[in-house]
Amino acid sequence: MESLDLRVLSDALAWHRAGHAVTLVTVVETWGSAPRPAGALLAIRDDGVLSGSVSGGCVEDDLIARTQAACKAGSPSAARPALIVYGVSKEEAARFGLPCGGTLRLLQEPLQDIEWVEQLLERTAAQQLVLRSVTLTSGAVKLSVARRGQALEFDGISLNTVFGPKWRLLLIGAGQLSQAVARIALLLDFEVLVCDPREEYASTLLAAVPGAMRVDGMPDDAVRALLPDAHTAIVALTHDPKLDDMALIEALQSDAFYVGALGSKRNQQARKQRLAEHFDLTTDQLDRLHGPVGLALGAKTPAEIAVSIVAEMVQVKAAVAQSPVPAPT
């Protein structure tokens, strides 16, 4: 299971190998109520087939026409990256269906060299964070190691985008609910880690959810070894206090942006009292616990509960993402 942007690159690579001309389009900057965020990726095949989206359908038809015209013209400039802006005026925004006068600035990039695509997909498959840098004047692409929390950067000369698991999720427990949460989280570009000392549970999840990785040991040891940062979520789902509480003690004292635990309101109240009395966790630390875990959607099935959990994680993550992470000194 892979993220949408990596699927776009996988499709682009397959199309190129099959003999098609392929153009990549990346959202560089947005203003107003743009439908897709900066970094969103689209691949356009020479016959108009698409993978991905940069506007939710607003400007894709025009982009197809542009790229097909450039391919037919065979001009030298068609082989170099080019910037395209939509929605500069209210009339143009209305023409392309951009909401609320939104504006899109896009980088249109003919795919010439596929070696970087192969390397990027190989590295991200190994759960590595990769920084892709493209120089607009030449179209040259360079890959390097990215840091967690690094954002898209564009200075008018080069574009830097990050691929791979930008956020981490550690699941304590590997039951049916954890399987559902893991599947959704992988689609959202989370690196999914699972800790469950019960061998039969852990083996079942790893077989059912390709892309998830196991962390050996007991839950508290797993959290400590992970060194949770502001891009890490930890969710305890075993419903067994002996396992969940061990992980939560460490998680609530860490920098994890989200800590959640399965259980009813009554169970959560008892859990907080237990943690406060026996493990000296402060009120502020206990207040960080999301429990019952997930948004109140009225969820009943494991799949519905998984949606509520990941939705709450995304809600909290969006607030965290507003604050840039400083470069390491």
Per-domain residue ranges for the chain? Answer: 4-163, 167-321
Do 244 and 267 meet the contact criterion of CB atoms below 8 Å apart? Answer: no
Residues 6+ apart with CB under 8 A from 11: 43, 51, 52
8-state DSSP, 100: G
pLDDT at 321: 65
For 256, the token pair is 């994890």
Question: 167-321: what fold?
Answer: Rossmann fold (3.40.50)
Element (H, E) at 30: strand 22-31
* Cα Rg of the chain (Å, integer): 22
pLDDT at 1: 42
Tell me which residue of 55, 65, 56 sits closest to 23, measured CA to CA.
65
pLDDT at 328: 43
Beta strands at 22-31 and 41-45: parallel, antiparallel or unpaired? antiparallel
Cα 312 from Cα 308, distance rounded (Å): 6
8-state DSSP, 78: G
Cα 9 from Cα 272, distance rounded (Å): 45
Q: Which residues of the chain have pLDDT under 70?
A: 1-2, 32-35, 56-57, 73-78, 88-102, 321-329
pLDDT at 329: 41
Do 36 and 27 meet the contact criterion of CB atoms below 8 Å apart? Answer: yes
Greatest Cα pair distance in the chain? 75
What is the overall mean pLDDT for the chain?
Answer: 87
Q: Answer left, alpha or beta for residue 29, where phi above 0 means left and psi between -120 and 50 means alpha.
A: beta
Cα 191 from Cα 189, distance rounded (Å): 7
Tell me which residue of 83, 63, 79, 78 sits closest to 156, measured CA to CA.
83
Torsion of CA 43, 190, 319, 55, to 10 degrees: 10
Please tell me the pTM assigned to this model.
0.72
190-199: long-range pairs with CB below 8 Å, 24+: 190/165, 190/233, 191/127, 191/165, 191/167, 193/168, 193/169, 193/222, 193/226, 194/170, 195/170, 195/171, 195/219, 195/222, 195/247, 196/172, 196/238, 196/243, 197/243, 198/174
